[in-house]
Amino acid sequence: MTAVIRNTWVLTALCLATVASGAVHANAYREKDKISKIANSSMTVTPPRDWNRLTIKPGKYAEVWTLDGEQLNDVTFYGGVEPGTPLLRERNKKRDPLPKFTTTTLLVEVPELLEGTYRAHKKIGSFTLTNTQPGQFLGRDGVHFTYDYTDQDDLPRKGEARAVLIDKKLYMVTFDAPRLHYFNRTLSDFRTLADAAKIAK
CATH code of the domain in which 116 resides:
3.40.1000.10
CA distance 4 to 185: 18
- Walk along the chain (201 residues) and give the pLDDT tens digit of each residue: 454 444 444 344 344 334 333 444 346 889 999 999 999 899 999 999 999 999 988 999 999 999 998 889 999 999 999 999 999 999 888 888 999 999 999 999 999 999 999 999 988 889 999 999 999 999 999 999 999 999 888 899 999 999 999 999 999 999 999 998 899 999 999 999 999 999 987
Using H for helix, E for strand and C for coil, what is the string for 34-72? CCEECCCCCEEECCCCCEEECCCCCECCEEEEECCCCCC
CA distance 78 to 8: 31
Q: How many domains does the chain have?
A: 1
Confidence (pLDDT) at 14: 42
Confidence (pLDDT) at 46: 97
What is the gyration radius of the CA atoms in the chain, in angstroms? 16
Please list, in sequence order, all residues whose beta carbon lies within 8 angstroms of the beta carbon of residue 127, skipping any fewer than 6 positions away: 115, 118, 119, 147, 148, 149
Closest by Cα among 55, 66, 54, 62 to 81: 62
CA distance 180 to 139: 32
Confidence (pLDDT) at 11: 41
The CA distances from residue 10 to 104, 108, 196, in Å, are: 41, 34, 32
Closest by Cα among 80, 91, 142 to 117: 91
Confidence (pLDDT) at 16: 36
Determine the structural domain holding residue 38 and report its residue range. Answer: 3-199
DSSP letters, the chain, are: --HHHHHHHHHHHHHHHHHHHTTTTTSEEE-TT--EE-TTSSEEE--SS-EEE-SS-SBTTEEEEESS-TTT-EEEEEEEEPTTEESS--SBTTTBPPPEE-TT--GGGHHHHHHHHHHHHTT-S-EEEEEEEEEEETTEEEEEEEEEEE-TTS-EEEEEEEEEEETTEEEEEEEEEETTTHHHHHHHHHHHHHHTEEE--
